[in-house]
Amino acid sequence: MKETKIYIPNLSLGNTKSVVNMINRLGGEVIIANTPDELLNAKKIILPGVGSFDVGMRELKDGGWIEALNKLVLQDKVPILGICLGMQFFFDESEEGILPGLSWIPGKLERFVSNEQNPIKVPHMGWNAVKVNKADGLIPQQEEELRYYFVHSYHAVCANSDHVIATAYHGSDVTAAVQNDNIYGFQFHPEKSHRFGMDLLKNFLSV
């Protein structure tokens, strides 16, 4: 059965409201969990996030969220979608901080390097097209160009390339979407990517 009730941990990490707006528009229901206990009935979770890696990881740790998330995601295999910084938490570590990540997907976050050979703007900000590597994820493989809104200064480098579902080009191919079993992540913002992003959240609602 399709689970359209989405739980979102109530963290101070930015823009939950935009995600809620879009899920509601798609006919889904959002439950904001104020404590890890309120999360325990979740059958589907979205972890949004804007801000810095350590501030976010500290809040997850100090709030007791990590234990609850580990149980739900690793043991009960509850589907979870991380968006932007929310996705970055899934990795082992980030050059942005010193705290360890959740280590659900092997790999780390590296800062974009802009130099004379590769003069890219940092952050990677704006609309970019993605190349889909695997059709079985949340992102459809189709003729029409798929474009999404990105804002980030650190990008995920997966230890296992099978986890990379889609890439975007910004000086080099950059991880745009990842999946490891029930764990999904988008570096871009589907909630701010018009119908392109709406389609992906719709797909997550029907996982």
Partner 1 sequence: MLKHRVIPALLLNQHGGLVKTTKFTNPKYIGDPLNAIRIFNTKEVDELMVLDIEASKLQREPNYALIEQFAGECFMPLCYGGGIRTIDQAYKIFKLGVEKICLQTAVLENLQLVRDLVDRFGSSAIVVSVDVKKDWLQRPKLFKSSNHQNSSSNWLTFIRDAVDAGAGEILLNAVDKDGTLLGPDLVIIEQASKEISAPLIALGGIASLKDIKQAVEAGASAVAAGAFFVFHGPHRAVLITYPQYQELLTLFNTK
Across-strand partners of 151?
125
Among 3, 5, 10, 21, binds partner 1 (CB under 8 A): 21
Query: How many residues at the interface with partner 1, by CB under 8 A?
Result: 37
Is residue 84 flagged as an active site residue?
Answer: yes
Work out whether 127 is an interface residue with partner 1 (CB under 8 A): yes
DSSP state, residue 191: G
Pick the closer one to partner 1 by CB: 142 or 169: 169
154 vs 175: CA distance, rounded Å: 10
Residue type, 155: H
The one catalytic residue among 96, 124, 152, 191? 191
Work out whether 125 is an interface residue with partner 1 (CB under 8 A): yes
98 vs 24: CA distance, rounded Å: 36
> Which residues in 49-88 contact partner 1 (CB under 8 A)?
50-52
Work out whether 114 is an interface residue with partner 1 (CB under 8 A): yes
Work out whether 126 is an interface residue with partner 1 (CB under 8 A): yes
Work out whether 15 is an interface residue with partner 1 (CB under 8 A): yes
- Collapsing DSSP to helix, strand or coil, 109 comes out as strand
Pick the closer one to partner 1 by CB: 141 or 172: 172
Dihedral-angle region of residue 116 (phi above 0 means left; psi in -120 to 50 means alpha; beta otherwise): alpha
Would you give the distance in Å from CA 103 to the centre of its chain?
Answer: 14
1 vs 105: CA distance, rounded Å: 27
Binding residues vs partner 1 (CB under 8 A) = 14-15, 17-18, 20-22, 25, 50-52, 114, 121-129, 147, 149-153, 169-170, 189, 191-195, 197-198
> Which positions are annotated as active-site residues?
84, 189, 191
